[in-house]
Amino acid sequence: MRQRLAEMLEDSCDDLLKWSARQFGGVELGDTRRNARLVQMGACACARPNGKVAAVFKENRDLQAAYDFLESELVEVEEIVGSMAAATAQSCRSLSHVFVPVDGTSVTVVDNEDAHDFGRIGSDSQGARGLKVIDALAVDPDGTPVGLLGLTWWVRSEQQSPPRGSARQKRPVEEKETRYWLQTVQHASRALHEQGVRGWFQIDREGDGRDVLLELAGSEHWWTVRGNADRSIELEGGDKEMLRAELSRQSIAGTYDLDVVARAGKRRARKARMAVRVAQVVLRLRDRKTSAITRLSVTAVWAREEGTTPAGEDPLDWLLYTNRPVASLDDARQVILGYAMRWRVEEFHRTWKRGDADVESTQLRSASAVQIWATILATVAVRIERLKRLARTHGELPASVDFSPYEIKALKLLKFGAHPPQPEPTVAEAVAWLAEMGGFAGKYSGKPPGATVLGRGLRYLRPAAQLLEIQEMSGK
């Protein structure tokens, strides 16, 4: 009987297996058993997300199989990422366009004796160890995450970074970490192209460099990059000017109000008045190795706070470069809105690294194993972020768009007891119930539930949904 119950429990993740198969079903790891193992591991990670592998797989045979998979030299993380990106791009086919925030982060691990194949994290003086990664997240036009279009992993060498200066700047791009940004953009662009989807890349100031700008300009997609510093531009007739000086001479295209949230010791809450200026300009991009100048035509959209900045604070200031056509204030506002979608990737990072997925608690001791496990957990983190945003942007949709039938049934029973209402809940209702299960207490303050309480709620929900499925399978 115990053996039969274990078999039923293993089979009862059918709904999560379907979800995992959508993420990883196209993978080719050289053996159908390895392909199936990845799908099974994805389903289990979604059921019990945790950075510690032993906390996800309860049966010894499953735990050992997971370790064998993660440590196998035959499993390549690039193949897993490629399958995941293709599935995400396919999910975007019905969208007019998809925002693609690209950003970098690190996964810190415990490696006190530097005995494993991890690399430096942060500054050389910190001594932290782990992995670096650049990721590309697909976000629909309403701001809801769809999935991941790219993860580019690397391990920093033990050699300290060269000091800042001309010698460092003149290194070829193949020797710079910039190459990982280029690879991520290339992989995401290719995945979208294969599905006929228009991407709109969104990159912060770290991407304001010649190599990244030219890579984006050579793609078939839209892009927006936030300027890191004032740039030299070329005027008609060949004269040179600084970009901000040129923009300051432009008339204001329009204004809008922005609600600013207080940040302790840094920013006071207020309604900021943002003035928008737009200009078609030609950037002068200098190759620091050869001093050659490449000219790149872009639209500059400058949104700057005017008249509402508290004393002692700097005004809000976004200088954006884009290839998106801008013919009106509404178009400029769309560029600004698109750039604001970049925050979705930072929210994903928090959920992935320290939230419900908690990847930085991993006890794996090889870089390749951490890369594979972290990639699987990344899809789980995106699902949590997706639920959070769906409730805010498409709350009127039926819960079945992202909850399984057993999850919905379990939610209703846990919320209402033995006699739950018959109608299917909306996404907003289901997420609210899930947040309550996770201990959400912010409903009285008017704040919507976040990823932490939703992840906690999922941990309570999954066992209940699993038991309901077992009950149905046993005929009781």
Answer yes or no: are the C-beta atoms of 296 and 213 closer than 8 Å. Answer: yes
Distance of CA 406 to the CA centre of its chain: 28
| DSSP string across 152-211 | EEE---SSPPPPSSHHHHTS-GGGSTHHHHHHHHHHHHHHHHHTT--EEEEE-GGG-SHH
* Per-residue pLDDT reduced to its tens digit, 18-66: 889 999 989 999 999 999 999 999 999 988 889 999 999 988 999 999 9
Q: Which residue positions in the chain have pLDDT lower than 50?
A: 1-13
Domains and CATH numbers, the chain: 2-77 (1.10.246), 227-324 (no CATH), 394-474 (1.10.740.10)
Three-state SS at 322 = strand
Which helix (H) or strand (E) segment holds residue 107: the answer is strand 98-109
Residue 10: per-residue pLDDT: 43
DSSP 8-state assignment for residue 81: H
Residue 17 belongs to what H/E stretch?
Answer: helix 14-24
Which residue is listed with tokens 């207490």? 441
pLDDT at 11: 40
232-234 and 317-322: which strand pairing? unpaired
Q: Please report, for residues 117, 154, 182, 230, the alpha-carbon distance to residue 161 in angstroms, rounded to integers and kept in the order given.
A: 18, 15, 20, 26
Separation CA 376–CA 462 (nearest Å)? 18
User: pTM for the complete prediction?
Assistant: 0.89
What does the DSSP assignment read for 339-362? Answer: HHTTHHHHHHHHHHHTSSS-GGG-
* Cα distance between residue 224 and residue 231, in whole Å: 16
pLDDT given at position 200: 98
CA dist 55 → 61, 333, 362, 407 (Å): 14, 46, 10, 21
Residues 80-131: tens digit of each pLDDT: 999 999 999 999 999 999 999 999 999 998 766 665 788 888 765 566 889 9
